Structure 1
Amino acid sequence: MKSKIWKLILMAAFPVIFWFTPPPDGLTVEAWRLLGFYLLAIVGLILRPFSEPLVLLSAVAFAGIFLNNTKDLLVGYSNTTIWLVFSAFAISTAFVKTGLGKRIAYVMIRSFGSTTLRLGYVTAFLDFIISPVTPSNTARSGGIVFPIIHSVAKALGSEPGETAKKAGSYLIINTYYTMKVTSFMFITAMAPNLLTADFMNKILGTNLNWGNWAAGLVVPGLILLLIYPFIGYYLDKPEIKRINNKEIARQGLAELGVMQPTEKLLIAIFILALVGWAAPSLLSLIGIKFTLNATAVALVAMVLAFLFGVIGWGDMLANKAAWNTLIWFGGIIGMATALDKAKIFDWLAHTISTNVSFTYSPFTVLCILGFLSIVVRYFFASASSYVVAMLPVFLTIGKAAGADPMALALLLAGTNSFGGLVTHYGAGVAPILFGAGYNSVTKWWINGAIMAFIGFIVFITLGYAWWDLIGLLQS
């Protein structure tokens, strides 16, 4: 209780200080005081005296009382991207409930998992296939991929301790590597991506929708999915090279039984959603202008899952991650929207550009900010907390320094995800995978740092070239 009290005092200090100090030139009193309540929310998300939804509801509630701007603060709940991700949570729930995620995994193991290295690639592409509709990477990797890979390791006689090197240490840590890649490839693959896109669109003036996000990040993501399992294999060579994948798959599929009608319906809904999300961007490449709102597609997919009995409303009510995301992301987006309306981000960019001399080229600035974002990400156990606390700072500095807006946006979207590879607490699923006991802290951190550096190099070379090739860059 004492710890909570001190955290609450520290949080409350920000709005109090900002309330009784005069605003700097260029800001109104209302905007300055609003910034104090926003910092209360940021500090609350980092210190976590309570859960994220309660922290954000508190910030919104007290800001609404003292600033009389409740309507502006609640506008975040009408944000279409939030409802896009919320709908994707429903499809994610269906993948777990119907067993389709596990069935896909065992089919892939049967077809391609004859060696330990190939099984590493099976893990990568399984995560990739289901990532567009699973915004909780904890549910995806911790609830679908990890139990299967963990059972495979045990079937191979690899347990924590003396036999960990047989196969388990590589297979488990590779699950983390690949999850960190698939999490940035689609805007619906990780819940914080929607916050990322919202900040980028507000501060940089970019147009990061589902299609542009995927167009920019799928290619560097696929490159890393080809690299990571291979590099990870040689950093932690398993003793077992070949696997009786046919028998493992046979047992797994036997437990699941014959494919149920709900699984077939889910496949159809899944494909329709992907086509709906990608169609406008794909058609635009051949000169056809076609508008189809991504959120509307997601809502239809969710409703179809309910109407055809793939999942029930009770299943959605039980999905705490979906409701937590809706509540606290809506709150933070509402506060960020109010800050944008008050021109605080513009003021910050102008202040930085006026008082700081940038002697580096825009590309050099891009590289520096990308590297720093990985270093700073080390201090955050939550991708969401990192986005709220640090992303606006990096975006504003990059904007003031003249970095290409879309390149900066896509680079920081990636570093937020694979920057979390460095530690064993860099994502919600990390304690699950590390807690399996197959890997030491030293190996996890060293290998993770190597993988994060490789991801950074791929982004500023091949990724940057790809963005330029498809016309995303403005400079």
Structure 2
Amino acid sequence: MSTEIADTQKSQLDWKRTLFMLIGLTLFAIVNFSPAWPDAVDPAGKHFILSAQGKGALAIFLLAGTWWVFEVLPIGVTSLAIGALQVLFMVRTAKEALKDFMDPSVLFIFGSLVIGMVFTKTGLTKRLAYKMLAVVGEKTSMIYLGCFVVTAALTHIMAHTAVAATMFPLLMTIYGMYTDEPGPTKFGKGLFIGMAFIAGAGSIITLLGAARGAVAIGFFKDIVGTEISFFELTYYMAPVGWAMTFLLWGFFMIVCKPEKKTIPGLREKAKMLGKAMGGITKQEILAATIIFTAIAIMSIKQFIPAISNLDKNAIMLVATVLFFIFNILNIQDLEAIPWNIILLFGGAMSIGFCLWETGAAEWLAINWLTLFQKANYFVFILSIAFFVMIMTNFIMNVAAIAISLPVALVIAPYLHVAPEVILFASLVTAGMPFLLLVGAAPNAIAYDSKQFTPGEFFMYGIPASIGLMIVVALSVFLWKLMGMPITTM
């Protein structure tokens, strides 16, 4: 009887998988083989043609989004389909489409995953987890809060990808003390999805949290001619980033309320296990030295001209090589790296560059923003933030800003909107892609916990994204009180 039930459930799951696979293919076919679409026209009257390649990029974009959300194939395999479809339908050449799978950003993700592996193997993770649990205590609500606050605070001084890689093994240890039962739990979902969301929220506060801030500020200076300083960015972003941190804590306490209010005896158990580990070992010291030296160099290099040209991806790869030189990792560890996650990001980079290079992303931005060229200034600001929020789930956040800011800054003077508020509203939503795993590296790292599916991540991301837009709307008024120019009237 149980076998029949299992077969029935499998059949239902297969039908669901087949349905969404066909939906993705249908969307691809409709867009790719449809007649030419109208040009996008900016406020100055300039026409932007959507080429056949651009239309093909949009078609692949829709297929990939559908397959990723509903996980009709392993997420890494969907990424491979992105590269293959670009080549088969002549959207881009094989060299252009497939080289993005080894983009420097993808290698950064690889290095981040290796760091997480080192934390776990050497025991540093357990040591840090026991210390944290001894401080935050036995209430699961405080464990949530403690993990989220530490995640947000770390993104002030290091890249949010590195933070996620650091926190992931720590959270795995904490979760292991919550339950021995196999399979996902509400607490597990909240802990790992929350970490990914909070890493984004914290990363908007300083220029050290992600590359997008520095790039956008440089881009803004070229267009507007105004310099935004490190401390000016932090002044306006800190209230928003921390508001989102605590708002997300409340959100996960509601939608992922832990099954247990407390874990009795956890504090004493954590202290006991910490003592049982003994003193820190030479291998732990060596691993920590390599990791934190790499993080320190990446954090301070922009302030020291002599090392400012050092590439962060090279720094991560040097650290990776050192782990093998000093026998901290071996060939078995290399083979255990989650290549599904790395392929996921390879596909994300490929579709992002595809939309950018074919002009499809610019065509989308102009069509969207010109809808609001006669709108109220407040509606226009939110429309920009919303566009960046959606696009940053599919393409690099820097690219999402780069395609929307020029158009927005052209329209802004007609609506008497100050350019600063456009920049900051865009940066807020660019840092928080809550819908798709490909939106940011912390999302993909959290997925490796096996506590949630891409579909669940998407469903939790919808109300979180709505909350983000409400925070952006309120921030416009807060920024005005803090001295930021909102209008030019």
TM-score (norm 1): 0.66
Distance 2:252 2:65 in 1: 35
Distance 1:9 1:230 in 2: 38
Contact 2:21 2:72 in 1 (8 A): yes
SS of aligned partner of 1:274: helix
Distance 1:66 1:311 in 2: 42
Q: Does the alignment pair 1:307 with 2:325?
A: yes
Distance 1:451 1:66 in 2: 34
Structure 2 matches for 1:41-190, cutoff 5 A? 41-67=64-90, 69-110=93-134, 113=137, 121-127=145-151, 133=162, 135=164, 139-140=168-169, 143-148=172-177, 150=178, 177=194, 180-186=197-203
Q: In the TM superposition, what whole-angstrom CA distance separates every residue of 1:352-388 from its partner, at most 9, and x where no partner exists?
A: 3445544122x544446657999x9xxxxxxxx9812
Shift of 1:23: 1.7
Distance 1:231 1:8 in 2: 32
Which amino acid is the alignment partner of residue 40 of structure 1?
L
Q: Give the equivalent residue in structure 2 for 1:263.
A: 284
Cα 1:296–1:185, aligned 2, differ >3 Å: closer, same or farther?
farther
Q: Does the alignment pair 1:318 with 2:339?
A: no
Q: Give the equivalent residue in structure 1 for 2:353.
A: 337
Cα 1:317–1:358, aligned 2, differ >3 Å: closer, same or farther?
farther
Distance 2:361 2:447 in 1: 30
Shift of 1:90: 0.2
Distance 2:317 2:307 in 1: 22
Which amino acid is the alignment partner of residue 103 of structure 1?
R
Q: Give the equivalent residue in structure 2 for 1:33.
A: 56
Structure 2 matches for 1:393-412, cutoff 5 A? 399-400=407-408, 402=412, 406-412=423-429
Shift of 1:178: 5.5
* Bigger mean CA offset, 400-409 vs 341-350: 400-409
Q: Does the alignment pair 1:388 with 2:384?
A: no
Shift of 1:275: 1.0
Cα 1:111–1:99, aligned 2, differ >3 Å: closer, same or farther?
same
Distance 2:296 2:329 in 1: 21
Q: Give the equivalent residue in structure 2 for 1:163.
A: none
Which amino acid is the alignment partner of residue 308 of structure 1?
F
Shift of 1:326: 2.1
Which amino acid is the alignment partner of residue 12 of structure 1?
L
Q: In the TM superposition, what whole-angstrom CA distance separates every residue of 1:269-311 from its partner, at most 9, and x where no partner exists?
A: 2211221111134458xxx983321111111122222222222
SS of aligned partner of 1:416: coil
Q: In the TM superposition, what whole-angstrom CA distance separates every residue of 1:242-270 from its partner, at most 9, and x where no partner exists?
A: 98776333322144344222211121122
Distance 2:189 2:27 in 1: 42
Q: Does the alignment pair 1:277 with 2:298?
A: yes
Distance 1:319 1:258 in 2: 29
Q: Does the alignment pair 1:346 with 2:375?
A: no
Cα 1:368–1:27, aligned 2, differ >3 Å: closer, same or farther?
closer
Runs of 5+ unmatched residues, structure 1: 160-167, 188-192, 377-384, 435-440
Contact 1:228 1:451 in 2 (8 A): no
Contact 2:434 2:465 in 1 (8 A): no
Shift of 1:169: 9.5
Which amino acid is the alignment partner of residue 270 of structure 1?
I
Contact 1:138 1:429 in 2 (8 A): no
Cα 1:309–1:65, aligned 2, differ >3 Å: closer, same or farther?
same
Distance 1:232 1:354 in 2: 36
Give the alignment partner of residue 471 of structure 2, picking from 453, 457, 463.
457
Structure 2 matches for 1:157-306, cutoff 5 A? 177=194, 180-186=197-203, 220-221=240-241, 247-283=268-304, 290-306=308-324
Distance 1:339 1:433 in 2: 28
Structure 2 matches for 1:1-16, cutoff 5 A? 1-16=14-29
Distance 2:352 2:471 in 1: 31
Q: Give the equivalent residue in structure 2 for 1:165.
A: none
Distance 1:38 1:419 in 2: 13
Shift of 1:64: 0.7
Contact 2:372 2:383 in 1 (8 A): no
Distance 2:258 2:73 in 1: 42
TM-score (norm 2): 0.64
Structure 2 matches for 1:14-25, cutoff 5 A? 14-24=27-37, 25=39
Structure 2 matches for 1:402-441, cutoff 5 A? 402=412, 406-417=423-434, 428=447, 432=451
Shift of 1:106: 1.4
Distance 1:19 1:367 in 2: 31
Shift of 1:418: 9.8
Q: Give the equivalent residue in structure 2 for 1:381.
A: none
Identity %: 16
Contact 2:294 2:315 in 1 (8 A): yes
Contact 2:141 2:253 in 1 (8 A): yes
Which amino acid is the alignment partner of residue 349 of structure 1?
A
Q: Give the equivalent residue in structure 2 for 1:162.
A: none
Distance 2:262 2:202 in 1: 30
Which amino acid is the alignment partner of residue 175 of structure 2?
F
Contact 2:140 2:260 in 1 (8 A): no
Contact 2:172 2:449 in 1 (8 A): no
Which amino acid is the alignment partner of residue 333 of structure 1?
M
Contact 1:90 1:302 in 2 (8 A): yes
Q: In the TM superposition, what whole-angstrom CA distance separates every residue of 1:223-246 from its partner, at most 9, and x where no partner exists?
A: 655777699999999999998776
Q: Give the equivalent residue in structure 1 for 2:343.
A: 327
Which amino acid is the alignment partner of residue 176 of structure 2?
P
Contact 1:105 1:126 in 2 (8 A): no
SS of aligned partner of 1:388: coil
Cα 1:50–1:238, aligned 2, differ >3 Å: closer, same or farther?
closer
Distance 1:9 1:242 in 2: 45
Distance 2:57 2:468 in 1: 40
